[in-house]
Amino acid sequence: MKEVKLDNTDRSLLNLLQANFPLSREPFADLGLSLGLEEEDVIRRITRLKEARIIRYIGPLFDSRSLGYQSTLVAMRVSEDRLEEAAQIVNEHPGVSHNYGRAGALNLWFTLTVPPGDDLESELQTLANKVGPEQVLDLPAVRHFEIGVFFDMADNDLPVNFHNNPPKTPQGALQAVSTLSSSEKAVISEIQQDITLLSRPFDAMAEHVGMEVNEFLRCCRWLKERGVMRRFGASIRHQNAGFAANAMVCWRVPSSVVEEAGEIMSAFREVSHYYERKANQSWPYNVFTMIHGKTKEGLKRTIEIIAARSGIQEYEALFTIKEFKKERVKFRA
């Protein structure tokens, strides 16, 4: 695919699309006001960025637990000659959103999510029986200190002040199940799609569920304020956006300093997630971070600096070898 050259406006637009997409009647016109562009130019640029496979999609990210879903991180050890086959079996499960081949003995890592009423442990066992791994680990989250995936594309001054401090998700316990009204459920079911690049993209969604568009958008904003919707924005293919390297780094952190270490680690812009997970006897690491960089060498240096500043020296850096699947789970509200 031909490489697309990004100008400063493209980069600023990508930052806005990730961090500050407006849930408004005419979002592309509002983005244009922030950038000094006409609405048509904003839509044209987004279209080009999607065609260049830099933007995956623009849409909502929901908190699965608030909707009554259960999820876990799964690690498997599969022989290298069966890795592709095993990954394909895993990908076929509708509850798998992310699936990666990573360097290390445990070489297949994926998230598994199941709807209310389903037994997560049984679902994992059924999937493991199909895959036939040499080893499988179930690593559920205990707490999340999620910062939010944000790839800073611009070196110039941005029209909003998230350049050095992109929005962070509040730290704390996992989200409780939320009580949802029938209209909120309808909005959640409808809005889980890649937004259309039209002047008023929410009008058709609102009409489809029998709501006035302003009511539909108020409901979206309220879901976001409550944390049911974590964010609404663009998902970026980081490999195509100049961030070619990433690794899941697993740390062995004493329970008494998990929060203190989190404050230090999350101060790094390269860190997109910080999760405390249930440690396993054969995998003694209890803190999991996702760290991104433009080069593998730069990423290694970042990990070393994080280890030095946090004082956590026991860790495993699992570099991504291949992305087998990355998409959002379709939730039934």
pLDDT tens string 72-104: 999 999 999 999 999 999 999 999 999 999 999
Q: Residue 201 in contact with residue 217, Cβ under 8 Å?
A: no
Q: In 306-320, which positions are buried (b, 16+ CB within 10 angstroms) versus exposed (e)?
A: bbeebebeebbbbbb
Rounded mean pLDDT of 181-207? 97
Q: Map residue 201 onto helix, strand or coil.
A: helix
Q: Does 174 have pLDDT greater than 70?
A: no
Q: Does 169 have pLDDT greater than 50?
A: no
* Residues of each domain in the chain carrying CATH 3.30.70.3460: 66-150+239-326
93, 98, 163, 208: which is the annotated catalytic residue? 98
Lowest mean pLDDT, pick from 54-68, 122-136, 153-167: 153-167
Lowest mean pLDDT, pick from 9-23, 125-139, 160-174: 160-174
* Residues of each domain in the chain carrying CATH 1.10.10: 1-52
Which residue from 197, 200, 219, 216 is spatially nearest to 208, judged by alpha carbons? Answer: 216
pLDDT tens by residue, 312-326: 999 999 999 999 999
What CATH class has 66-150+239-326?
alpha beta
> What pTM, to 2 d.p., does this model score?
0.84
Active site residue 163: no
pLDDT of 324:
97
Label residue 53 left, alpha or beta by phi (over 0 means left) and psi (-120 to 50 means alpha).
Answer: left
Question: What is the rounded CA–CA span in Å between residue 21 and residue 220?
Answer: 12
1-52: CATH topology: Arc Repressor Mutant, subunit A (1.10.10)
